[in-house]
Structure 1
Amino acid sequence: MKKVLILCNGSPPSRELFRESFAQADYFIAADGGGNIARQFSTQPDVVIGDLDSYKPVSNEPFKVVSRPNQEYNDLEKALTYADKEGGTHIHVLGATGYRLDQTLKNLSVLKQFNSNFQSLVMKDNYGDTQLITPTYETELAIGTTVSLFPLSGTVTGITTHGLKYPLENESLTNGIRDGSSNEVIKPTVEITYQSGDLLLFVCR
């Protein structure tokens, strides 16, 4: 098991969230301008990777800087590809949301693209954690925690939940028609199953 932290150039995480994620990581990748944010936190990544249009280098940096100028892929894709080659199994991504909505939506698409490459892939920000969950999913959460379920693309069918205030029983969620935002945990164990589709789980911090 190898835990990899990726720091992107979106809305910066709080210092507390960054320190918590950094302490758990075996390897730290800064995606382009994420290297600037790492410097603000007085922390050095193991590697900076991207098209390097945002990263501002300084002299005598003791870490690797990898230029990947191909514009067909964004910096998060390049960082996740690198994490995969480094043997990463559990990936935490910071700074992938906020600021430009188009870039946040792109990063959610990247989440789907790479989700099967790792044992877990979670986007974290100051408000909560977002991940694509498997068709049979179980987690322990504090009672009162706010959670939301969203169909990432099209429709997610056959959703059944246990441990939430507003349960679903073999129901569907569809973009533009129905989603599962702002539910509430009422039991310590939350169970979610579904039949088909791509289901995003957001857990509020």
Structure 2
Amino acid sequence: MIFGGGALGEWAIPHIGEGDVLVGADQGAWFLVSHGYRPHLAMGDFDSVTAEQKKHIQQMAGEFRDCDPIMKDYTDSELAYMWALQQRPAEIVLLGMTGTRLDHTLANVQLLRQGLAAGVRTVLRNEHNRIELTNGRLELTDEGFSYISLLPLTIEVQGITLEGFQYPLRDAVLTMGQSLAVSNKLVAPAAAVTVRSGELLVIQSRD
């Protein structure tokens, strides 16, 4: 589980399970420490925390990696994600990856492509959304979200078939820039999205 420096709150705590490897990127590390968790790894340039908070993070973290804020080529979130992919986990959950900075939000959503290429399932969550990327078959369960939307992350996604949705699709094509597949709903406890080619964002959301 990677905690970034975006919007975090008490909603994130129940997602932490026993035995999860916790990684804090910059301010995300402070969120973990301030809630009584010892990050397995804390990394970043730590330009979003005070000197005292940084010192406390360093004391609490199992491993501490301090990056130069000027010379590094990647965001703190991407550095943490690349480390996590190298560990070959069963799944990576990203929290604190969205917020007021739209550039960081979009960059973090696009990180899902790295997980897809590496064959490591990755889910990005915030208080109102669950986001996953697929280029094959993705099975979903009803977690109480009001809506589910499909957005192409490649110019075109072909062969889209939906099972367990209010508005079904069969062998459909979605092109980037269309809103055809926004605000669908699940009508079954278990559903599935199948894609023949292309990369498709599957976004479950609630107001």
Under a length normalisation based on structure 1, what TM-score does the superposition of the two structures give?
Answer: 0.86
Equivalent pair of 2:39/2:60 in contact (CA under 8 Å): no
SS of residue paired to 2:5 = coil
- The amino acid across from 1:65 in the alignment is F
Query: Aligned Cα RMSD in Å?
Result: 2.2
Equivalent pair of 1:90/1:118 in contact (CA under 8 Å): no
Distance 2:79 2:177 in 1: 31
- The amino acid across from 1:58 in the alignment is K
Counterparts in 2 of 1:163 and 1:27: CA distance versus 1, 3 Å: same
Deviates more, 1:34-43 or 1:75-84: 34-43
Equivalent pair of 2:145/2:204 in contact (CA under 8 Å): no
Residue 49, structure 1, aligned to residue 43, structure 2: yes
Q: Who is 1:58 aligned against?
A: 55
TM-superposed deviation, 1:48: 0.9
Counterparts in 2 of 1:39 and 1:186: CA distance versus 1, 3 Å: same
Distance 1:116 1:182 in 2: 27
TM-superposed deviation, 1:134: 3.9
**Unaligned stretches of 5+ residues in structure 2:** none
Identical columns (%): 28
TM-superposed deviation, 1:144: 7.5
**Unaligned stretches of 5+ residues in structure 1:** none
Q: Who is 2:202 aligned against?
A: 201
Q: How many pairs align?
A: 199
Q: Who is 1:38 aligned against?
A: 32
Output one character per residue of 1:38-59: Cα deviation in whole Å (capped at 9) or x when no partner: 2332322121112332243125
TM-superposed deviation, 1:159: 0.9
Equivalent pair of 2:93/2:123 in contact (CA under 8 Å): yes
Distance 1:106 1:161 in 2: 27
Q: Who is 1:20 aligned against?
A: 14
Moved segments of 4+, more than 6 Å: none
Distance 1:94 1:27 in 2: 13
Equivalent pair of 2:24/2:32 in contact (CA under 8 Å): yes
Q: Who is 2:133 aligned against?
A: 132
Equivalent pair of 1:88/1:118 in contact (CA under 8 Å): no
Distance 1:118 1:31 in 2: 22
